[in-house]
Structure 1
């Protein structure tokens, strides 16, 4: 049971990543590969600041600001320099590898005996249950803030930019600015996931973001499938189902390990599972 609770905790850590990819890919229709770099950026800054005994609350502000800056760079390259969004993301992600390595000063920062976000939390005797409460508070606050923002006039303009850029331009909205802000927001949330997972697992690693976009994409696709099946219209419910997708995704991986599949094959299983999720709706529609 503890094994599956750990999988749920990891999914909650990845909730910001899932929402970030939902914003970039489903709202703006931009395949943002910056995710791999901004996730590690969040972890790297968290490790460095905690080692310097900076409080986790202050570290959070720095992490989210740095993630937003990384996303804004991608948005600027795409929107202002007319570079393909996929290439823009790859360029920033590649640059962030050197930035992250320079910040860390080494490839790995262990956080043993370092006070983290979860250290002061002693609501219950069980450590995992305490961590669950802290993460749940984070996720609920994030959902309420992002859900509210996307329902405001500004949020509606952001969503309209992805749905019909020509129409929203005709209404006088600066779509380039919307894309930059949207990507900044998405990568800020991704960096938040790096912040949480670093403290949860107890270390920051330079390679922790490699392929992480697949985890987020899988979560979003599962969430989108649930949204389609349940015919959900509310943006807040959409966000909740995306996080539910992250939980389902991590539970599937946990089951895979629990039944004895070699841990070395986990990335292969992850890629295969995402491929299955992507292709299954199309296969079913062809059969009909």
Structure 2
């Protein structure tokens, strides 16, 4: 005969589970590339989650506010400097024997690569749904992201523009003949990598880490064995045949797990 077992977790206990689950989730990685006008950028990143305050919204939403997404970026800028190419004007002097002209001299600037490392923290608030699933003989209760309500990269974009500016100027200084054109080149490049553009880039990077995010709150074996209680009371195995998770609101909001055994 099936037996129903019900257990409940309040928000205080759930936030303890959240902290443990974030630590168990560990570090996630992502990589991609994009372009900023004539310039390219490829990146790889790692990130981990810390903090956040969980609250229950009946019937099936778990809100988590102020999660810190701590990320480290390895950037590689590809800068095509061909916009600086120029040719010196030729000067010709007429003579009885024909014009004497200076040779045509043109300067062609290379494409250079600028590596850069950067780290920062984004603050995220999001809504999660509930999931209870049987995975390899264990019942796993997780929260699965549904929507991001707020994403704040803070002053990271401004700091990243500054870091890119310093790296670009240092790289340009090593290019022959570019001294008189240094300010022009740096200005054009930094206009492409502006604060607004890099804010969008950081938003996209953080969203990659959040996409499909599932945070495991609890894991229990499908078969539960009650221990023996003397020679005439042997161990008794129970099989959890179904598990459901929902938010219920009575005198307080709670995460309620209902099991059929």
Greater per-residue strand proportion: 2
TM-score normalized by the length of structure 1: 0.23
Greater per-residue helix proportion: 1
Larger radius of gyration: 2
